[in-house]
Amino acid sequence: MGNRRMFKCKRCEQPTISVFDKYKMGLWREVHCSNCNARLADNPVVLGAFHFLAYVQMVAWFAALTYIYHDSKYLLYIVAFWIVFDILGVLLVPMVVLRPKPLST
Ligand SMILES: [Zn+2]
């Protein structure tokens, strides 16, 4: 396994982030770098805009077409676009380094 399929940590620049980790960030999860232990997440502004502009608009559009034309093939388009958006999100949404959690006192 080469490092080409890994994403670089935003803090230490080491290729420690797997595609699956990056995908989890797209689900609003945080991921810890195995090298520097930074808390990493997808940029919430970009991710939020992406979810609203891509997923919500797309699902609303094809759901409307399904309703208007009574044709369930549009539901398959939702699944297809959903997968495409997931891949685009993994590739395009930038990472941010989160602040360390405050120590509980
Ligand atoms: Zn790191």
Phi then psi for residue 17, to 5 deg, are -100, 115
Report yes or no on 87 lying in a domain: yes
Give residue 73's domain range: 19-96
Report yes or no on 55 lying in a domain: yes
Assess contact for 91 and 19: CB atoms under 8 A.
no
Q: How far apart are CA 44 and CA 33, in angstroms?
A: 18
In angstroms, what CA-CA distances link 87 with 71, 90, 101? 27, 5, 29
- Number of domains making up the chain: 1
Report yes or no on 84 lying in a domain: yes
Ligand 1 geometric centre to CA of 75 (Å): 40
Tokens at 62, concatenated: 């094809």
Tokens at 86, concatenated: 């997931």
Query: pTM of the entire structure?
Result: 0.83
Ligand 1 geometric centre to CA of 22 (Å): 14
SS3 3: coil
* Section 96-100 average pLDDT: 90
Please identify every residue whose CB atom is under 5 Å from ligand 1, which is an ion.
9, 11-12, 33, 35-36, 38
The answer to which of 2-16, 22-36, 79-93 has the lowest mean pLDDT is 2-16
